[in-house]
Amino acid sequence: MGHRDNRGIEGLLGGVRHGHDGDRAASPPRGRPAPALAIPDPYRYTIANLEAETGINARTIRYYVSQGLLPPAHGRGPSATYDLGHLLRLRAILLLKDRHLPLEEIKGKLGDLSDRDLESLLGVATRPPEDRWRRIELHPDVELHVRERDGQPDLALDRAAEELVAFARAVLDRLDAER
């Protein structure tokens, strides 16, 4: 059996002390805060994609970046990519240019807006609509689940669900009466 050191942490540190008074134990060095994990943006565009989506040519897009209307691309050269924020800002620039606003004024208007703000202002849905499920309890032991595709109610399906509920409740009421 090995010998166990019962002197605690000081024994493991070899009696190292910190400070001028000699009574304070050393504290570990202060670390740097860990950088926040960046979640990759699922929307990535090449400059050709942006041209196709907006009708703005690559040279003009690069000019907007140089003037501060758009943030720089992610990466450099032919492999550079742009994100959803770039696309939203380009669409907003087009709308504001149609109102004959000068670029400096457009830059001021877009400067403090987040991507979410731009989505709202442009009325753009950037996420596909989600299916929603409606849960109908028919009995403590039986449920019916009805899906609304793309979050939109379907009147024919609602009528069918109502018929199913009426039929199921009649059957379940008979079951409860027999018990």
pLDDT at 11: 39
Tokens of 121: 């202002």
Average pLDDT, rounded, for the chain: 80
Task: Calculate mean pLDDT across residues 92-103.
Answer: 93
Instruction: Decide if pLDDT at 57 tops 90.
Output: yes
Task: Give the pairing type, strands 24-25 and 17-18.
Answer: antiparallel
Is residue 11 assigned to a domain? no
Instruction: Decide if pLDDT at 46 tops 50.
Output: yes
Among the candidates 122, 141, 157, a domain finishes at: 122
Task: Calculate mean pLDDT across residues 58-72.
Answer: 95
Range of the domain at 62: 44-122
Q: Mind listing the pLDDT tens digit for each residue in 119-158?
A: 888 876 556 667 788 888 888 889 999 888 877 778 888 8
Same domain, 48 and 113: yes
pLDDT at 12: 32
Task: Calculate mean pLDDT across residues 102-111.
Answer: 93
Is residue 9 assigned to a domain? no
Element at 139 (helix H, strand E)? strand 132-139
pLDDT at 25: 55
pLDDT at 130: 74
Instruction: Decide if pLDDT at 55 tops 70.
Output: yes
Is residue 157 assigned to a domain? yes
Task: Calculate mean pLDDT across residues 65-94.
Answer: 92
What Rg do the C-alpha atoms of the chain give, in angstroms? 32
Is residue 80 assigned to a domain? yes
Higher pLDDT, 61 or 154: 61
Same domain, 158 and 103: no
In sequence order, what are the residues at sequence separation of 6 or more whose Cβ sits closer than 8 angstroms to the Cβ of residue 110?
Answer: 69, 89, 92, 93, 96, 118
Number of folded domains in the chain?
Answer: 2
Higher pLDDT, 4 or 54: 54
pLDDT at 14: 45
Neighbours of 68 (CB within 10 A): 13
Same domain, 113 and 148: no
Task: Calculate mean pLDDT across residues 111-116.
Answer: 88
Strand partners of residue 81: 74
Same domain, 145 and 92: no
Q: Mind listing the pLDDT tens digit for each residue in 3-36?
A: 554 444 343 334 444 444 445 556 666 666 656 5
Is residue 70 assigned to a domain? yes
